[in-house]
Amino acid sequence: METRMKLRPLPPLREAIASRRVRLRRAAVALLLLGCLTQVAGAADPPPGVIETPMRDPWVPPSQRQPSTSPPTSGADLRAQVEQKLQAAFDAADVNHTGTLTRAQAKAAGLGFIASHFDDIDTRRSGLIRFDDVRSFLEGRAARARSHN
Amino acid sequence: MALKIVFAAMLALALAGCGGGGADSPQAPPATNLDSAVYSSAADASLPNAVELASVTKHQLVVDGATLNYTAIAGHLTASNPATGAAEASFFYVAYTLDGAAAAQRPVTFFYNGGPGSATVWLHLGSFGPMRLVTGDPSTTAPSPFPLVANAQSLLDVTDMVFVDAVGTGYSEAIAPNTNISFWGVDVDGQVFRDFVMRYVAANHRDASPKYLFGESYGTTRSAVLANLLETAGVELTGVVLQSSILNYNVNCGVVSSNCMGDLPSYSAVGAWYGLDNPNPPPAQLPAFVDQARAFARDQYGPAVAQFLSNRAPPSTALLTGLVNITGESLGNWQARFNMDPGFFQRTLIPGTLIGLYDARVSAPVGSALASEGDPSSTFINASFATGITSYLASLGYTNGSRYVLLGNANARWTYHHDALSLPDVIPDLAAAMTQNPQLRVLSVNGYHDIVTPFYQTEQDLARLGANPNVQTRFYVGGHMTYLDNGSQVLEKADLKQFYTSTAQDR
């Protein structure tokens, strides 16, 4: 087993490797760390891990044990919950409350799924999509997936 | 400018790591650590800033006769808010990557335990990483600390692995102005894990790699939430492995006072282990016997408990006799606790003996040291994992003077509210992930002798998704951590390898 250590190159640094100054700096850091390594080798055994509480998984504090009184959802009720979830993410990105999103708005809100499928969702080629468009796109994909299975 | 800040921070850390005395310090420097940051599991703790520092070491492992060269990377990555870019938390992780593999074809899997409040030490050192603590489970005769050995059943032959600790566990901590408790809730935890996964993928150029999640226990709750958030964010997953699931807290009768129907087949398997069932099945017939218990639970016990809970209708003598035969639990105990929760079962099945909750095959005399914390199966392994993790990390070149917290107090301060419910039901999250990604495959793995996340309850929960060939379920002899059992670990590895191979073909 090899025990050599080095600083993991960070991606921004990796990208900037053309810069000679950066290369020099990295060499300096590596040297500094090499100096440390000789000391690490002689370090005492590390302190053992700590267990602050007994293993409790799953567990909920007694004051929070308030289970739902409704039976678990399935079928159409579950599909409605899924739709609510997806619509909530859509609506949160629709900061101007227009009922529509542009690709840029979707991207800015972190809706990478919608942004990356935007052209397939935007069947009217208007540059603006409604949640109904997302739903139609998902239904089409699901139907295609079923026919593949 | 950003580069300069990173460089300055690294330099500062490197200097501090060398003892902080500077190059011209006259005294011999004290023994020092690679990472000198001080980590805390406290609810109100936060790091003033964070540096993405890691130790990188090279190793070899033999799996199925093939020598695998791999790199271990142990350190921190910073999760940031995707909208604002603000730093949220510094995640401690250990990644194992196969040398020379093409990233576009090589899967990467994110592993985490649950709790909430548990570090990812049980999966890391017990399951399918390159090194494994051999516990001898379910026997409690092995001397501790357990030996740490090369893991011949590692998943390194099929996937790169990233073991990551939740905020406020291990060496993971929030970054100011956040504090650890900022991320102690079903939704915020899922969000900050999403941001860690996205940072790992970007930092390591893994956009094209097949991506998998592997959570255990509360980690399966996290996986459902996280899978949905990742798909929404445009990070497509290939597979999700659910190890010993809790997908709906509202129906787990060890957590809340719900119908314990889902636990009955587990009690049957435990009764069979101790030779108490009538007739008692030989080990090879356990699956068929458990099938009978499923039918008994569904058709007789479950409906009778529902009646009992609504109007205290007493069960028939025939039903009670059936319960005694199929579980080995006494008639008196079934009369005393008809809706029998696992905490009652573990204390009463064998007089004078406490059986485990996580692995009910583990037992200890009442009053013994192993029984003193309420669960002999976790008490037996805790100390070895606690000493094992930090010395193992040191062998990977990562040392830190802080306390590595295996089990913290996050679950007492957690926000369990999710969607419109006080306690999380994450089947809708899993369904939303599978709606956004119809190719997403789910493998549910379960232990017959786990009475905290009973397998039949998990089957009921997953059945809500409807008939779906993308959801598969497997069962093993063993407890919550099925992989601790040497025999079951081999079987689970084979099933996982098949899962990875078949999902890769689908892409």
Report, as an integer, the average pLDDT of B262-278: 98
Residue in B407, B419, B425, B468 to test binding to A, most A beta-carbons within 10 Å:
B407
Cα atoms in the 13 Å half-sphere on the side-chain side of B441? 21
The CA distance from B399 to B166, in Å, is: 19
- The pLDDT assigned to B31 comes to 61
Query: Taking Cα atoms as reference points, which of B413, B129, B402 lies closest to residue A50?
Result: B402
- Chain B hits for A118, Cβ within 8 Å: none
Q: Do B250 and A72 touch (CB under 8 A)?
A: yes
Q: Do A54 and B378 touch (CB under 8 A)?
A: yes
Give me the residue from A3, A28, A89 closest to B57, CB to CB: A3
- Chain B hits for A109, Cβ within 8 Å: 83
Distance from CA of B278 to the nearest CA of A (A): 31
Class of residue B394 by CB neighbours under 10 A (exposed 0-12, middle 13-18, buried 19+): buried
A26 has pLDDT over 70: no
Q: Do A60 and B411 touch (CB under 8 A)?
A: yes
- The pLDDT assigned to A29 comes to 43
B507 has pLDDT over 80: no
A62 lies within 8 A of chain B by CB: no
How is residue B140 written in tokens?
A: 């409690």
A28 lies within 8 A of chain B by CB: yes
**Using one digit for the tens of pLDDT, what is the confidence trace for B364-395?**
999 999 999 999 999 999 999 999 999 999 99
B505 has pLDDT over 80: no
Fill in the DSSP letter of residue A125.
-
Give me the residue from A51, A68, A78 closest to B407, CB to CB: A51
Q: Which alpha helices (DSSP H) does B127-245 contain, by range?
A: 186-203, 218-232
Give me the residue from B31, B385, B386 closest to A42, CB to CB: B31
For helices B218-232 and B186-203, angle between their N-to-C axes, nearest 10 degrees: 60
- The pTM for the full model equals 0.90
* C-alpha torsion sign, points B121, B122, B125, B129: negative
- Chain A hits for B90, Cβ within 8 Å: none
Compute CA distances B410 → B53, B123, B185, B405, B426, whole Å: 25, 19, 9, 11, 20
Report, as an integer, the average pLDDT of B291-306: 98
Give me the residue from B58, B221, B425 closest to A2, CB to CB: B58
Query: Taking Cα atoms as reference points, which of B380, B308, B331 lies closest to residue B144?
Result: B380
- Provide CB contacts within 8 A for B180, sequence distance 6+: B40, B41, B42, B43, B44, B45, B46, B167, B168, B173, B174, B410
Chain A, 100 to 139: residues with Cβ < 8 Å from chain B are: 108-113, 115-116, 138
Give me the residue from B82, B228, B258 closest to A67, CB to CB: B258
A27 pLDDT band (50/70/90 cuts)?
very low
**Using one digit for the tens of pLDDT, what is the confidence trace for B332-343?**
999 999 999 999
**Extended beta strands in B203-349, E state:** 211-217, 239-245
